[in-house]
A and B are shown apart, each in its own frame.
Chain A
Amino acid sequence: MAEREQADKLAKAIDDLLRGLDPELDDAELRELFQVAKPRRQAALDAAHVGDKYESRIWQRLLTLLSKNVQEARSNGENADEDETTIK
């Protein structure tokens, strides 16, 4: 099988793996490569599990920064409004 054809089949199998499926592969080498892909996917799931614990903490940190940005934007807007609506 040509490399590109193998690459296409493996890509499809990996997409299935990411959807939680366990595809059947008719090529021996592709089966071997898929056996490498599976633990790499498991490693990603483990890492994502670590991230779960920090999602709300980082959002709170972010919210503080974003609120500051929004307030600054409003403040700049107010200054701009003031400049437009006042006679010096």
Chain B
Amino acid sequence: MRLPFTDKAVAASVLKDRAEVKSDNNLSEFAQLYHDYFPRVFTFVYGRVNDKDRALDIVSDVFERAFIKQSSLRSQDAFGPWIFTIARNAIATHWRKEKSIAKGIQDSAWQAESNGPHPSPESFILHRERLANLTQLVCQLPKREQEVISLKFDAELSNREIAQVLGTSEVNVRVTMFRALRKLRDRLQQGVI
């Protein structure tokens, strides 16, 4: 038989109300973080998995995990490197499951869906070709160099944040970027695709 214990029931009710307010506040704060970070997390994931629908699924998972685990975050300032670490792990899991071959970034999906300004059909085609070539060359770089490039250009992280995500030094990040771009330049000049 279960009987209510009145004083404790009142206290529990107050605590429950507080928990609800806390949950609502958490969701509201999280909505702002989502709004701030979605574009960069999406761009980062999209650039790494080369498939828009998969990227959207992964991004959704990343933010869900971030919401559930956010209490483990020491400070809001650490949210950037933290969420990209979650994203990086989610991408690694994706590739372990899929073991699929990179299709050459975006399969022209960027170009097909992008509504960016292009002055003429000719320049649009040139723009597409240049990006497609470059993207294919980036996919041929070592994984570490691809990650540094993506964390910089897609995720827009500082070198310090990239170093945190990859567990390395800022100097290493800068030198890795330099070497990666040098390789890309050489391959572009050689016409290697």
Contact = CB atoms under 8 A, between A and B. Distances in A.
B56 A54 contact: yes
Contacts, number: 163
> Which size class do A's interface residues fall under?
35 or more
Interface string A56-70: 001101100110011
Interface in B136-181: 138, 149, 152-154, 156, 158-159, 171, 173-175, 177-178, 181
Contacts of B110: 43, 46-47, 49-50
Interface string A28-61: 0100110111011111111111111111001101
Contacts of A6: 178
B46 interface: yes
Contacts of A25: none
Contact of A47 (B9, B138, B154): B154
B182 interface: yes
Contacts of B159: 11, 15
> Which size class do B's interface residues fall under?
35 or more
Contact of A84 (B8, B42, B185, B188): B8
B114 A3 contact: no
B2 to A, nearest CB: 4
Tell me the interface secondary structure of chain B in the complex: helix
A26 interface: no
Tell me the interface secondary structure of chain A in the complex: helix
A40 B138 contact: yes
B85 interface: no
B67 interface: yes
B43 A44 contact: yes
Interface string B127-140: 10011001100100
A21 interface: no
Contacts of A46: 110-111, 114, 116, 131
A70 B154 contact: no
20 contacts: A15-B158, A18-B156, A33-B178, A36-B188, A39-B130, A43-B47, A44-B43, A48-B43, A50-B52, A51-B43, A54-B56, A55-B42, A58-B56, A58-B59, A62-B34, A66-B27, A69-B68, A82-B2, A85-B4, A85-B8
